[in-house]
Amino acid sequence: MQCYCCCSCQGLEAETAWSDMGYCILFVHGLKKLTTWLNKWRITVLTLFALLLLLFSWKTVKQNEIWLSRESLFSSGVRTLPHNAKVHYNYANFLKDQGRNVEAIYHYKTALKLYPRHASALNNLGTLTKDVVEAKDYYRRALQLNPQHNRALFNLGNLLKSQGKKEEAVILLRDSIKYGSDFADAYSSLASLLAEQERLKEAEEVYKAGIENCPESSDLHNNYGVFLVDTGAPERAVSHYRQAIHLSPTHHVAMVNLGRLHRSLGQNKEAEAWYKRALKVSRKAEILSPLGALYYNTGRYEEALQVYREAALLQPSNKETRLALAQVLAMMGRTKEAEKMTNHILDEDVECLECYRLLSAIYSKQEHYAKALEAIDKALQLKPKDPKIISELFFTKGNQLREQNLLDEAFENYKRAVELNSDQAQAWMNMGGIEHIKGNYITARDYYEKALQLVPNSKLLKENLAKLDRLEKRFQEVQEKDQT
């Protein structure tokens, strides 16, 4: 089909052509005028372009500086958009992650001034404030704005948990899981709270649900392992500790827990291997200490000494580590060093009960029995609440008195020890020994037999009972001769 153009189309094309040509003429004319003006001032077009290039290059460099780090990027945003709540909130999150809490609080509060309905800013403020009442207020305000804010529910639940309001905490933590089924920390926190309340079946169900919904959470597997150990299922705990390590190969907490589990089963080689593997991830005092305890309890005192020395250097203010180090020194016969170190700890904490117990052992080793007795009396004056600890103190005091041949006083202290803790086998045995020496064979046998019920494989007890049998037989023979 032939196409025909109307006159109006032809006119439009001609008009467009003339228009384009006009723009070109105007551009060339303008460029010529600009060149003439620049030449007048002795500036060439190339010079101008060079200046523009330099200007934009400088601008690019300055912009790149902003992108060099998250901090420069966020701080630049705050300077550029000071009235933008989101910019302040993001910068506050960065500062919070860096531990710069005072600055973070300022920017969270600024974000709230600009946008008072920012629930997450309120929640994060609650996590940073040291005032419990203020923190609770922030969490509650966040939940008023967003009742399904699972992190605010979680934080308020944990706060109430710390205040002993356990039932309210359980409800909040359950809601936190309800509105955030992939929030692993909420499962762990709720399960541990239920376990504290002896609601073990519910706790286990929560752990299982958490692992099902958050299968990649290494912490959940580790925490479930701890729960299983505490509830008497260590063999099941092993697989969860291993899974935690599989998911997070640097999970040194799970490695230490696995080491402790092997240690409790008497598998010292495996325990040592896991402690050492954890130390390859991080040389922390909390990893070194259980390894030091393993060495100490297996008689490897030189290695224990080295490990505890390193732990003490890492945490010089940790009283327990230094006390353990002093104990190793005492066991190695370096009693003067041990005594000095223990007294240093007492200078910092005059109510260190374990310090007095260790000093008593040190003085006893030095055969300074009066000083050993004095140290135990000071420990008793602290009035510990645990009956078993008091029982052990009376038992130790009985030993110190026996060393001074004060048998009647020693017997009374052993007696008080078993009254507080009837499982004190050694106290029953020592009472039997004192009665044995005094010739009270019937009473001695009674005490020996009570001790034997607690430690049925004690060779020494069996030997003492055999001695009693021989003495009683001789005594009976003598009586029969006298009668004849």
> How do residues 303-350 score in pLDDT, each as one tens digit?
999 999 999 999 999 999 999 999 999 999 999 999 999 999 999 999
pLDDT at residue 11 greater than cutoff 50 = no
Per-residue pLDDT, averaged over 155-162, amounts to 96
User: In one letter, which amino acid is 274?
Assistant: W
Please tell me what DSSP assigns to residue 385: S
Helix or strand (DSSP H, E) at 476: helix 459-483
Residues 211 and 221: their CA atoms lie apart, in Å, by: 7
Write out the two tokens for 131: 């005032």
Q: In order of start, what are the domains of the chain with their CATH numbers? A: 409-484 (1.25.40.10)
pLDDT at 459 over 60: yes
CA separation, residue 274 to residues 87, 241, 279, 289, 321 (Å): 45, 11, 9, 13, 20
Query: What's the mean per-residue pLDDT of the chain?
Result: 88
Give the pLDDT score at 52.
57
75 pLDDT band, cuts 50/70/90, is confident
Candidate from 167-171, 292-296, 425-429, 472-476 with smallest mean pLDDT:
472-476
Compare 47 and 434 and report the one with higher pLDDT. Answer: 434
> What per-residue confidence (pLDDT) applies to 13?
40
**What angle (nearest 5°) sits at the alpha carbon of residue 145, between those of residues 140 and 150?**
70
Q: Closest by alpha carbon to 407, among 376, 435, 426? A: 435
- Write out pLDDT tens, residues 460-484: 989 988 888 888 777 676 666 666 6
pLDDT tens across 345-380, in order? 999 999 999 999 999 999 999 999 889 999 999 999
Q: Per residue in 417-447, pLDDT tens?
A: 999 999 999 999 999 999 999 989 889 999 9
Digit-coded pLDDT (tens) for 177-196: 999 999 999 999 999 999 99
Best CA proximity match to 323, nearest among 334, 310, 312: 312
